[in-house]
Amino acid sequence: MVNSMGRPPTFERDEVIDKAMDLFWRQGYRATTPNDLVDTLGIGKGSLYHAFGSKRELFSLALDRYRDQQAVLIDRALAEPGPIKDRIIAAMRLIIELNTTDADRRGCLAVNTAAELATVDEDAGERVSAMFERTTGAFTDAIRAGQASGELRTDLDADAVALHLLTTLVGLQVLTRTTLDPERLARSVEVAVAAL
Amino acid sequence: MVNSMGRPPTFERDEVIDKAMDLFWRQGYRATTPNDLVDTLGIGKGSLYHAFGSKRELFSLALDRYRDQQAVLIDRALAEPGPIKDRIIAAMRLIIELNTTDADRRGCLAVNTAAELATVDEDAGERVSAMFERTTGAFTDAIRAGQASGELRTDLDADAVALHLLTTLVGLQVLTRTTLDPERLARSVEVAVAAL
DNA sequence: CAGATTTTGTACTCACAGTTACAGAAAGGC
DNA sequence: GCCTTTCTGTAACTGTGAGTACAAAATCTG
């Protein structure tokens, strides 16, 4: 008797969150207005606030959705077969390519949110941190495996290396919002990996 | 007869721009309201708009001020005496320290602006790009000198290395807005430099 | 001192951001 | 078919963001 009473919604909740994620990603949190949301989500204001409570709550859902969708990308790239260094380079190149292919140059929602909100919105900051830690963890696993298999030098601390890779990744996400030449960025990635 | 007629201003233009820079840096462009500016600049709205035209124009002045002030930091750190690798590490550490010491965790105004505005405000994007290119140039000079003196390996392209250092720097500026442990970041910097 | 000129403070405007109110629509339960 | 419940659309409302208007204040010039 909990859930099947009353008028059913006319929209797919997940689809709407996806679209909201896209919009926040493109425009940033503050720059996105309720009217923007209504326009691109294809639902009325009534439904919007009834279903999600507030812009801020919807944004949290969008952040979580982003985490679930994007985390996979790095994980998958690192899980491919082949030499570890190549996989890391491929992962970075993938990010560069996604960003420079994207007409809107939206970069990374987590990075953008770190820059826009992390210092003033504690919850957002924590969500972003968690994403960063997660990615760092994926790198750490890859590095450890590479060290164990003898592909990578073992005199470097795996955690430090992983964090450096995250730093590089985050930096790339910012630079692709401004810098024009993806080839230049790609070449700089090789430098990052040459050290390992 | 050009300039010494009429009531003289009650404020120092440069001081006001400094304060505006600080505020934009702390809060971001959109989050900073005219009232915020009036409050912290210590001048009335009349003067504000009379002297600077608009929030956006003042922001451009603030960006340029930031460029002039911050560019020096990296330049100076790289110009110190000593081995090149140490100088690069010192420059990065300096940035980490400045950021983690800062109670507001403001990061880097250029990076924050890249994330907030670069894709929607062309002029802001160009100013930020110019700052990035400038810093990259400083790194390039340092790398080339190090290669010439035999301190650094010469099989890596100096431009690519410099761009990688910029990427690292930019990534650090973002991460210091969220991550807590500066020591961890510092250790990751050593990895970046180990490659050279 | 009488303009002329520039700066300042205050009050105002206008639009829009973010949200709420609420009446009606569309379902299920009995 | 009626009651209950949940959803939807529209119209509000309140606050504030960004900027303007303009009269009064403070200077320089002659």
Q: Which amino acid is at A18?
A: D
Q: What is the mean pLDDT of residues B156-183?
A: 94
Tell me which residues of chain B, numbers 49 to 88, contact chain A at a CB-CB cutoff of 8 Å: none
pLDDT of residue A3: 61
Residues B92-108 pLDDT 10s: 999 999 999 999 999 99
B5 C-beta less than 7 Å away from strand D? yes
State whether the beta carbon of A35 lies below 7 angstroms from any atom of strand C.
Answer: yes
pLDDT of B7 reads: 93
Q: Look up the protein residue whose alpha carbon has the minimum distance to the C1' of C18.
A: A34
Burial B39-59 (b: 16+ CB within 10 A, else e): ebbebeeebbeebbeebeebb
> Residue B56, CB, less than 7 Å from strand D?
yes
Contact B188, B88 (CB under 8 A): no
**HSE toward the beta carbon, residue B27, CA cutoff 13 A:** 17
Write down the pLDDT at residue B3: 60
Of B106, B125, B177, the CB nearest to A114: B177
Long-range CB contacts (< 8 A, 24+ apart) of A77-81? A78/A138, A78/A139, A78/A141, A78/A142
Minimum-distance residue to D27 (CA–C1'): B7
Query: Is residue B179 over pLDDT 90?
Result: no
Work out the angle at residue B72's Cα, subtended by the Cα atoms of residues B71 and B76, and round it to the nearest 5 degrees.
130
Half-sphere exposure of A191 (CA within 13 A, CB side): 27
10-residue mean pLDDT profile of chain A (196 residues): values are 78 98 98 98 97 98 96 91 95 92 94 97 97 96 96 95 97 91 91 87
CA of A45 to C1' of D13 (A): 15
pTM of this structure: 0.94
Query: In Å, what is the CA distance from B163 to each residue of A102, A187, A195, B44, B117?
Result: 22, 9, 15, 43, 22
Q: How far apart are CA B155 and CA B196, in angstroms?
A: 10
∠ CA A182-B191-A184, nearest 5°, is 10
pLDDT at A1: 47
In chain B, pLDDT over 90 holds for what percent of residues?
90
Query: B143: closest CA among B87, B90, B76?
Result: B87
Distance A94 CA to D1 C1' (A): 61
Chain A partners of B156 at a C-beta cutoff of 8 Å?
191, 194
* Biggest alpha carbon–alpha carbon distance for chain A: 64
In this complex, the answer to whether residue A9 has its CB under 7 A from any atom of chain D, a nucleic strand, is yes
Residue B33 has pLDDT above 60, yes or no: yes
Cβ atoms of A83 and A151 within 8 Å: the answer is yes
Return the residue of B nearest to A125 by Cα: B178
Please say if the pLDDT value at position B1 is more than 60.
no
Six token digits for residue A185: 């960025």
DSSP state of A8: P
**Could you report the per-residue pLDDT of B48-65, keeping only the tens digit for each?**
999 999 999 999 999 999
In eight-state DSSP terms, residue A2 is -
Q: Which nucleotide is nearest to A7 (CA to C1')?
A: C27
Mutate which: B63, B175, B183, vs A, most A CBs within 10 A: B175
